[in-house]
């Protein structure tokens, strides 16, 4: 009798730890945007540590024709053609810890600045987006989507309807997850787009896995400033899914100060569960140490003591 209950006890412990490892495998994440600028970048040049959940974010899938006309939710891939369907399959088969996501929209297509437009028929838009993205996701062996709309209509008059952004995007992610088309969804707000993204996150947080907040847009250059900004953004999006981010050869904090900032975040009680980097395009062939920030970020994440 005692033996039986011991076994039952063990079995239930095993069951609990199984659920726990399925829910979160304890790995930290690196998010790497790739393919947005036309540089002929490839996956297999990026250093990937097997102990990290490595997410490539293909930039971008866009609801627009090549001339920049919106297509009522019909998305097409516009990332650099060196990121082929076969190369996604290959990098994933070589690295079981790799996932690949399509980022939606981005700033511009050619000379056309892209913006969220409120579709006349939101449900039609959702259906079109679901169908077109499902096909891209299957063709390219993708695991998820990232939301990177960066421009929104001006504040509406009191008489006009609410923005459809949160509804359309939230329902789209929910549907893609419900139909098991994707397993991961992330969002990429920055300082002028916090409003619409808080609306989205407030209503659909349960289907959003990570917040790739673009800290470099806050143009903070010191570790202390970074900590202050992180505190503010963690009040808006929660700390748990919020990832510190770095723009290679870009805005905001640069160089070793970024790692000082990560250490300061941990010292201040935040667990650094991952890092987002924009982008592989800037990291490759810069003449210096290729992928320095990718390598050092992964080393930092593996070295730090706090786990998810």
Ligand X SMILES: *[C@@H]1O[C@H](CO)[C@@H](O)[C@H](O)[C@H]1NC(C)=O
- DSSP 3-state of 194: helix
Residue closer to ligand X (CB basis): 11 or 299: 299
Q: Per CB under 6 A, does 299 bind ligand X? A: yes
Token pair listed for 256: 């070793």
Residue 172 beta carbon to ligand X: minimum distance, rounded to whole angstroms: 14
Comparison of 177 and 241: residue with beta carbon closer to ligand X: 177
Closer residue to ligand X, CB minimum distance, 45 or 84: 45
Say if residues 16 and 57 touch (Cβ distance below 8 Å). no
Q: Taking the alpha carbons of 252, 292, 208, 146 in that order, is the dihedral positive or negative? A: positive
The piece of 139-147, 239-247, 274-282, 300-308 that touches ligand X (CB under 6 A) is: 300-308
Write each residue from 51 to 90 as x if it is in contact with ligand X (CB under 6 A), else as -, in one continuous string. Answer: x---------------------------------------
Nearer to ligand X, 202 or 286 (CB): 202
Run of H or E including 30: strand 28-34
| C-alpha–C-alpha distance, residues 14 and 240, integer Å | 26
Report if residue 128 touches ligand X, rule: CB under 6 A: no
Q: How far apart are CA 13 and CA 100, in angstroms?
A: 33
Residue 303 interacts with ligand X (CB under 6 A): yes or no:
yes
Stretch that binds ligand X, among 32-40, 187-195, 219-227, 298-306 (CB under 6 A): 298-306
The residue within the footprint of ligand X, chosen from 31, 32, 36, 49 (CB under 6 A), is: 49
300 binds ligand X (CB under 6 A): yes
Buried b (16+ CB within 10 A) or exposed e, 109-125: beeeebebbbbeebeeb
Choose, by CB under 6 A, the member of 21, 178, 222, 224 that binds ligand X. 178
Residues touching ligand X, count (CB under 6 A): 10
Start-end of H helices in 75-147 = 85-94, 122-139
Q: Is residue 240 a contact partner of residue 274, using CB atoms and an 8 Å limit? A: no
Residue of 120, 138, 150, 171 marked active site: 150
Q: Give the list of residues 6+ apart from residue 82 with CB closer than 8 angstroms, or none.
A: 35, 40, 41, 42
Angle made by CA atoms 77, 82, 88, in degrees to the nearest 5 = 75
CB neighbours of 290 closer than 8 A, spacing ≥ 6?
Answer: 45, 283, 284
Minimal distance, residue 95 CB to ligand X, in Å: 10
Applying CB under 6 A, does 302 fall inside the site for ligand X? yes
Minimum CB–partner distance for residue 27 and ligand X (Å)? 12
Segment 184 to 243, residues that bind ligand X, using CB under 6 A: none
Instruction: Choose between 90 and 97: whose C-beta lies nearer to ligand X.
Output: 97
Locate all alpha helices (DSSP H) within the chain, ordered by sequence.
2-23, 85-94, 122-139, 165-178, 194-204, 223-237, 257-267, 280-283, 292-303
Q: In this complex, which beta carbon is closest to ligand X, that of residue 47 or of residue 285?
A: 47
**247 labelled catalytic:** no
| Smallest separation (angstroms) from ligand X to the CB of 219 | 26
Binding range to ligand X, per CB under 6 A, among 31-39, 43-51, 147-155, 226-234: 43-51
- Residues labelled as active-site residues: 150
Binding site for ligand X (CB under 6 A): 47, 49, 51, 162, 178, 180, 299-300, 302-303
């Amino acid at each position: 009798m005692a033996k039986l209950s011991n076994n039952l006890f063990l079995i239930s412990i095993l069951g609990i730890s199984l659920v726990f490892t399925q829910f979160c495998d304890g790995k930290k994440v690196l998010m790497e945007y790739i393919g947005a600028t036309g540089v002929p970048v490839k996956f297999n040049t990026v250093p990937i540590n097997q102990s990290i959940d490595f997410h490539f974010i293909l930039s971008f899938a866009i609801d627009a024709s090549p001339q920049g006309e919106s297509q009522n939710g019909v998305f097409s891939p516009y990332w650099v053609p060196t990121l082929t369907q076969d190369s996604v399959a290959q990098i994933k088969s070589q690295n079981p810890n790799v996932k690949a996501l399509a980022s939606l929209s981005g700033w511009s297509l050619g000379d056309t600045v892209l913006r969220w437009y409120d579709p006349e028929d939101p449900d039609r838009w959702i259906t079109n987006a679901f169908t077109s993205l499902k096909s891209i996701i299957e063709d390219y062996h993708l695991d998820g989507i990232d939301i990177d709309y960066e421009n929104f209509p001006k504040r509406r008059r009191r008489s006009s309807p609410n923005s459809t952004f949160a509804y359309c995007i939230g329902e789209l992610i929910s549907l893609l997850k419900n139909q098991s088309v994707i397993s991961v969804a992330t969002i990429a707000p920055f300082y002028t787009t916090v409003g619409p993204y808080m609306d989205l996150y407030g209503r659909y947080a349960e289907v959003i896995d990570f917040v790739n907040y673009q800290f470099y847009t806050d143009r903070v250059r010191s570790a202390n400033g970074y900590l202050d900004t992180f505190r503010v953004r963690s009040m808006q999006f929660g700390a748990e899914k919020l990832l510190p981010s770095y723009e290679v050869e870009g805005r905001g904090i640069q160089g070793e100060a970024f790692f000082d900032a990560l250490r300061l975040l941990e010292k201040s009680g935040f667990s650094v569960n991952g890092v987002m980097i924009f982008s592989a395009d800037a990291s490759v062939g810069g003449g210096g140490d290729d992928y320095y920030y990718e390598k050092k970020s992964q080393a930092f994440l593996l070295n730090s003591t706090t786990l998810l």
